[in-house]
């Protein structure tokens, strides 16, 4: 954690991630985390958050859980990471237990399938919003744009495995973005 940032209370980290975990459905959590942590609270700068998202996507596990661990760690170290991930998983855990108890009743409620479709549409919209915002921040030149387009084409259209795409494209992206004339270059 940098010295110029105020210490974020663990209770604030818990509350934010508990609300995100409890109130989110079917995806879009990274977008929501971005809005709460970067836009609304200014706990982490955009560039640092996007670096965390990139790291979270290449690590095993669920992206949103990985991002919560990253944010918690950046804010308060290991205890912050533990609090963030525990908070994000507590609400869904309790909700799933409750949903399992009332499952037979829910499935028979008229309009329930339509409700689920509507929630899915909202989640997709949130992901698109985050994708557009992230593209604006990350598109710092033609090489960055080319890397984004190539990654999209290889993963989304050609269905290449993410690990292979990262292994092939990441070295070129890093080399292109490495500061010219840096002492460790």
Residue-wise pLDDT for 5-38, tens only, equals 789 999 999 999 999 998 887 677 899 999 999 9
pLDDT > 60? residue 147: yes
* Residue 82 token pair: 């533990």
Q: Which residues contact 158 (CB under 8 A, 6 or more apart)?
A: none
Confidence at residue 160, expressed as pLDDT on a 0 to 100 scale: 92
Q: Which residues contact 20 (CB under 8 A, 6 or more apart)?
A: 29, 32, 33, 36, 68, 88
Confidence at residue 28, expressed as pLDDT on a 0 to 100 scale: 76
pLDDT > 70? residue 185: no
* Residue 111 token pair: 């309009």
Q: Is residue 162 part of a domain?
A: yes
Whether residue 23 is found in the same domain as residue 38: yes
Q: Is residue 146 part of a domain?
A: yes
Confidence at residue 131, expressed as pLDDT on a 0 to 100 scale: 85
Residue 37 DSSP label: I
Q: Where are the alpha helices (DSSP H) in 24-177?
A: 29-34, 46-58, 63-101, 103-107, 112-138, 142-152, 162-177
Q: Is residue 3 part of a domain?
A: no
Whether residue 91 is found in the same domain as residue 167: no
Whether residue 100 is found in the same domain as residue 148: no
Give Cα 119 distance to the centre of its chain: 18
Whether residue 42 is found in the same domain as residue 130: yes
Determine what percent of the chain is predicted with pLDDT higher than 90.
43
Whether residue 92 is found in the same domain as residue 118: yes
Q: Which residues contact 110 (CB under 8 A, 6 or more apart)?
A: none
Res. 153 pLDDT band, cuts 50 70 90: very high
Res. 2 pLDDT band, cuts 50 70 90: very low
For the stretch 167-183, pLDDT in tens is 999 888 888 777 765 55
Q: What's the domain count of the chain?
A: 2
List the single range of 46-60, 124-138, 157-171 with lowest mean pLDDT.
Answer: 124-138
Sign of torsion, CA 181 148 51 40?
positive
Query: Where in the sequence is the domain holding 144, given as residue range(s)?
Result: 139-185
Whether residue 121 is found in the same domain as residue 45: yes
Q: Which residues contact 183 (CB under 8 A, 6 or more apart)?
A: none
């Amino acid at each position: 954690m940098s010295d110029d940032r105020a210490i974020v209370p663990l209770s604030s980290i818990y509350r934010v991630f508990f609300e995100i975990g409890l109130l989110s459905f079917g995806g879009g959590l990274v977008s929501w985390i971005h809005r709460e942590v970067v836009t609304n609270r200014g706990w982490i700068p955009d560039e640092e958050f996007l670096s965390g998202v990139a790291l979270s996507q290449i690590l095993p596990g669920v992206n949103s859980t990985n991002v919560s661990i990253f944010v918690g760690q950046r804010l308060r170290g290991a205890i912050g990471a533990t609090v963030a991930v525990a908070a994000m998983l507590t609400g869904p855990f309790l909700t799933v237990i409750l949903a399992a108890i009332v499952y037979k009743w829910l499935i028979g409620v008229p309009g329930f399938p339509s409700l689920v479709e509507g929630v899915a549409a909202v989640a997709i919209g949130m992901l698109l919003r985050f994708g557009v915002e992230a593209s604006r921040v990350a598109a710092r030149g033609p090489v960055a744009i080319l890397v984004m387009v190539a990654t999209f084409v290889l993963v989304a259209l050609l269905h290449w495995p993410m690990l292979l795409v990262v292994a092939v494209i990441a070295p070129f992206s890093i080399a292109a973005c490495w500061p010219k004339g840096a002492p460790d270059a």
